[in-house]
Amino acid sequence: MTTQLLVTSTPSEDLLAQAATAAGLLGPSTDRIHVGPDDDPASVAAALGSEVELVVGTRTLAAGRNLSRRFGDAPVTLLASGAAAYGPTSGPLQGRLAKRVRQIVTVGLVPALDPLLLTERAVPVSAVPADALREAAAALPAPDAVPDPTTLVLGRSGAWASALDREEQADLLVAMVQRCAEAGHTRLVLLLDDDAPARTRRHLDKAARGARADLTVVTDARPVEAWLGLAGVGLVVGSATEDLLVAREVFGHRVAQLDSEVVLKHLDPFDDARRTAATLVAATVPDLRSWTSTPGGEAPRPVDLPGLMATVAYAMQPGLLVDRRAAAIGFLEVHPEVRRRFVRKRRLSELRLPGGKRKVRQTLD
In tens, the pLDDT along 15-53 reads 999 999 999 999 887 678 888 888 776 677 666 666 889
Residues counted in the chain = 365
Average pLDDT over residues 179-207: 96
Stronger pLDDT, 164 or 42, i.e. the higher one: 164
| C-alpha R_g of the chain | 21
Average pLDDT over residues 351-362: 95
Average pLDDT over residues 121-137: 96
Average pLDDT over residues 302-314: 97
Q: What is residue 321's three-state secondary structure?
A: coil
Average pLDDT over residues 242-255: 98
Does residue 240 carry a pLDDT above 80?
A: yes
pLDDT at position 58 is: 94
pTM over 0.75: yes
Q: How many C-beta atoms surround the C-beta of residue 109 within 10 A?
A: 26
pLDDT at position 46 is: 65
Strand partners for 55:
6, 77
Q: What percent of the chain has pLDDT over 90?
A: 81
Provide the b/e sequence for 260-296 (b: ≥16 CB within 10 Å): bbbbbebbeebbbbbbbbbbbbbbbbbbbbbbeeeee
Q: Which domains does the chain have, with CATH numbers?
A: 3-138 (3.40.50), 150-292 (3.40.50), 305-350 (no CATH)
Does residue 119 carry a pLDDT above 90?
A: yes
In tens, the pLDDT along 334-350 reads 999 999 899 999 999 99
Mean residue pLDDT across the chain: 93
pLDDT at position 248 is: 98
Cis bond upstream, residue 149 (ω within 30) = yes
Q: How confident is the model at residue 351 (pLDDT cuts 50, 70, 90)?
A: very high
In tens, the pLDDT along 91-117 reads 889 888 899 999 999 999 999 899 999
Does residue 324 carry a pLDDT above 80?
A: yes
